Amino acid sequence: MGWGRFLRCQAGRWAACGIDLIYPPRCPICQREARDQTGGAGQVEEWNPDPSPWANAVCGACTRELSADAGRCLRCGEVGGSADGCRFCRQRHPDWRHIAVLSTYAGGLREAVLRAKRPAGDEVSAALASLLVRKHSAVIGSWGVDRVVPVPMHWWRRSIRGTSSAVELSRRIATLLGVPWSRPLVRQRATRMQNELPIEDRPRNVQGAFRVRCRLDEERILLVDDVVTTGATLSACCRTLRAAGAVTVDVAVVARADRSSADA
């Protein structure tokens, strides 16, 4: 290595150390500093700084809390079942092929999902995406995905919110999986919030709400959203993607809400 390159390299390291001193790395979920967790008299959790590609490293305590979940059916997402399905999805036949869920929409995960919806929530979305991919890396890897796409938000709602957590989640997931990301789906009318409607009215609310910008012939799609409750929105998206030529649609969501606590 030449001297010039060596010095530039060292300067980069010193600068990074300086930035760490001024802005010590924090867990994006609980905001605790790395040193809060490693230093001190034998206290607390190990810090799992997990270098790139798992940037936005979540601390050990948050990883355990947010990833802990009962085993779920990989076909419909209900608790129980297996990769082949459970008694629920044998009756209902989901419109997607498989679904990967980080955990139940409750407690700390519910708080994190709500924070990710706010304008400054992109860092939280990236952290949740990392947890989701880490938990299901083998399963999602076996699906052979060609493209990652978000469930779209109507442009009007997005301009009010300032961000779309589905967009940020899906972008991060695509980076971690190393596959292309795009937004072929468009929400062509502003639908009422699904959580404001009785469960039986939700499919009608999103019927015909989506269209695609381009053909997706022979593509295997991974569709991403933050929360699923009845699955009516995901189903409408899946049907639109398949009508545009997608050969399979799998789904990844951060949280699955119980129907009683229906919020999405």
- The residue among 31 and 195 lying less far from Zn ion, judged by its C-beta, is 31
Task: Provide the minimum distance between the beta carbon of 99 and Zn ion in the complex, in angstroms, as a whole number.
Answer: 9
Give the whole-angstrom CA distance, residue 239 versus residue 232.
11
- The residue among 37 and 164 lying less far from Zn ion, judged by its C-beta, is 37
> What CA–CA distances, in Å, run from 176 to 126, 132, 222, 255?
10, 10, 13, 19
Give the whole-angstrom CA distance, residue 198 versus residue 113.
22
- The residue among 36 and 226 lying less far from Zn ion, judged by its C-beta, is 36
- Where b means 16+ CB within 10 Å and e means fewer, 52-87 reads eebbbbbbbbbbebbbeeeebbbbbbbeebeeebbe
Task: Provide the minimum distance between the beta carbon of 62 and Zn ion in the complex, in angstroms, as a whole number.
Answer: 3
74 makes contact with Zn ion (CB under 5 A): no
- The residue among 29 and 236 lying less far from Zn ion, judged by its C-beta, is 29
- The residue among 86 and 174 lying less far from Zn ion, judged by its C-beta, is 86
Residue 31 neighbours by CB distance under 10 Å: 10
Among 27, 66, 223, 234, binds Zn ion (CB under 5 A): 27
* Residues binding Zn ion: number (CB under 5 A): 14
Task: Provide the minimum distance between the beta carbon of 71 and Zn ion in the complex, in angstroms, as a whole number.
Answer: 11
User: Tokens at residue 189, please?
Assistant: 């009318």
Contacts with Zn ion, residue ranges (CB under 5 A): 27, 29-30, 59, 62, 73, 75-76, 78, 81, 85-86, 88-89
